[in-house]
A and B are shown apart, each in its own frame.
Chain A
Amino acid sequence: MATIDVAAERDDGGDPVLEVENLHTQFPTDRGVVRAVDGVDLTIESGEIVGLVGESGSGKSVLAESVVGIVEEPGEIVEGDVRFDGESLLAMSDARRQAVRGGRISMVFQDPMNSLNPTLTVGEQIAETVRLHQDVGESVSLPAELKRKIVGAAKNGDAWRRAIEMLEAVEIPEPEARAADFPHQFSGGMRQRAMIAMALSCEPDLLVADEPTTALDVTIQAQILEELEGLKDEFDTSILLITHDLAVVAETCDRVNVMYAGEIVERAETEALFADPQHPYTQGLIASTPQLDEPDRDLQPIQGNVPDLIDIPYACHFAPRCPEAERECFEIEPEFRPVGDSDAPGDGGTHEAACLRRGPDGERL
């Protein structure tokens, strides 16, 4: 895989684009504190697509919101750090963080309709992002905006031209005409493309895509995923792809993190993870996913439900649903251990799982 080489190349030069260290994001509620993200470490190198897979209630979206800095009240990051290009996003001044967010980190959401302004044309929205975050010599002050609106000068500016280029880059047909359309005139797939165009318009270093294809049909999903991969190469953008769909991750990502109940339980190069899943949760998840090419395989659901993330008393959050749990699993917090076959292709010793019952012979329970 070409992408592994990229990662290796980056290893000897420069910081990773994003480092999340021991992140804890919590929401106080009437019933107790919801520990949505409970001690997560995550690294994204330049130019790679990293997958974050988990079911609903795993805290994956809150993790994304923490990275981008848009955790909703009353949630807050209580511990840990998010470093972007080596610099802590949490320690930054608000103004600087604002500049980074949107300019160098951008986000794509599951439902594009909710994140596009229905009263502005798609092109105008992209152009505005460009004006805000890139120096195109167009003022973003209110009088300037009004003037553009009234005189209609917007369509000759650099920002507008850039917007059309971006729409073209995400393969929206007839971008010149479509740019003047309103979001409701777009189909679901086109809207998601427009969102991606907007997110990429400032050539961010990191794109956080939260379930970007979940609301789309499979043929459209295929288009969008292909798009994302192409754009990653074209713009050299790192992508954090958050999804519940194992197959999407398997096809698109370079590395994968599996998240369960606020914690990351397994991480590896994509190929290694799916060739040899180690954590019982990952194994269960794969066993319960219907697969097109294995119709005769029995589905083996993981019994039970994802726990409420309030006051979980046991150490390994998966223990109650795990077929292999011992008493120790409830008592001892599992640390990451190397689990993969380091000789296997695509492993490189980076395959780790947080499970007491996995790992090297001596340590395994």
Chain B
Amino acid sequence: MTDATDASADTEADDAARPDGGTPAYARNTGEFGVGEVPQEYETGERVTAHRSTGERIVEALTDNKLALAGAVTIVALVLVAVFAPYVAPYGPEQQFGFMQEPMGQSTADVDGDGTTETVTHYLGTDSFGHDILTRIIYGARISMGVALATVAFAFTVGTTLGILAGFYGGWVDSVIMRYIDFQWAFPTIILGVGIIAVMGGLGWLNVVVAIGIAFIDDFARIIRGEVLSIREEEYITAARAVGMGDARIMFKEMLPNAVAPLIVQATLMIPFAILAEAGLSFLGLGVKPTTPTWGLLISDGRQFVSQAWWISVMPGLAIMFTVLAFNTVGDGLRDAFDISEGEVN
């Protein structure tokens, strides 16, 4: 190996003919500022177009779209309320007051348990058991939102996996999976849910999650399969295979990040459906334990008293409506931001 002195001598000797750094042979003069050299006052700094990760794009979509932002704020508020229900709710979920108090109605009870009675206001009234409806709705948010999120997470995971497998391998794998998906798609969600719960037997939130989750698989599977079919033809997938990556790595590390945007939008739009489905199952008495406060059960409870006490059903109904609206505005905002057509994601 050459030592340092020789190195510099060589470099100088070669300089005349060096196209890099030095003067290329086509140049007729040497300038004060050679190739790539710029007087300081003309430095323009390297311009790099910003790369936006999926997360950044979501944040951007929400800040640009006021409606979506409002939705997102509502969702965050709801989640916080649900998580901190014991602190937020005015009373305990099982605490009983006067029956069927109107919204803003008052009752007297020993709320703080100090032996003396106080007068308390029921902002949304009380139900037929004397439960404070606002409290029940807040506690109900825990189950309703929790079940909805878990359901979508379940459907997302299973559906995405099936869809990727179908799209990636094609052939008989694709045929088998997609025929199953078609079969499932032809069934109304709620009936499928009822059927699954019937087969699994017993009540409980886990059963609800699995039942609705399975019914939602088809949407995710279809979307990701479509994405994978087009991504499969991309050159970077050929490149990944040329590098020697295994199928699993290609599917989940190379393809999935490029297909995740429509899935996120779909997930956002599926949550309201999950809330509704859970409410529906609960309403039918197939959801969680009948005494647990969930939005669906609350509506169901008020059903027979609608003519005397409309608020028992309407108030949780409004809660569902606002939640569904919030998720939908966020989903629409994201869909616009990711530039996904309505046909692709429903």
Contacts and interface: CB of A to CB of B under 8 A. Distances in A.
B33 A303 contact: no
Interface in A10-64: 31
Given A286-B26, A287-B26, A300-B26, A326 B32 contact: yes
A156 B35 CA distance: 64
A98 interface: no
A319 interface: yes
A327 B33 contact: yes
A280 B33 CA distance: 14
Contacts of B34: 323, 325
Q: Interface residues of A: mostly helix, strand, loop or mixed?
A: loop
Nearest to B24: A300
Interface in B24-42: 24-39, 42
Contact of A303 (B36, B39, B44): B36
B105 interface: no
A327 B19 contact: no
A267 interface: no
A303 B20 contact: yes
A329 to B, nearest CB: 7
B184 interface: no
A330 B39 contact: yes
A174 interface: no
A286 B25 CA distance: 12
Interface in A283-338: 283-284, 286-287, 298, 300-304, 307-308, 310-314, 319-327, 329-330
Contacts of A323: 23-24, 27, 30-31, 34-35
Interface string B61-82: 0000000000000000000000
Contacts of A31: 47
Interface string B305-339: 00000000000000000000000000000000000
Nearest to A304: B36
A283 B37 CA distance: 19
Contacts of A303: 19-20, 35-36
Contact of B32 (A308, A311, A312, A327): A327
A321 B42 CA distance: 13
Given A298-B19, A326-B32, A320 B26 contact: no
Contacts of A298: 19, 25
Given A300-B19, A325-B34, A287 B25 contact: yes
Nearest to B17: A298
Given A300-B19, A300-B24, A321 B33 contact: no
Interface of A: 31, 280, 283-284, 286-287, 298, 300-304, 307-308, 310-314, 319-327, 329-330, 357
Given A312-B44, A326-B31, A329-B31, 20 more contacts: A31-B47, A280-B27, A283-B26, A287-B24, A300-B19, A300-B24, A300-B26, A302-B35, A303-B19, A304-B35, A320-B42, A321-B35, A322-B31, A323-B23, A323-B30, A323-B31, A325-B31, A325-B34, A325-B37, A326-B33
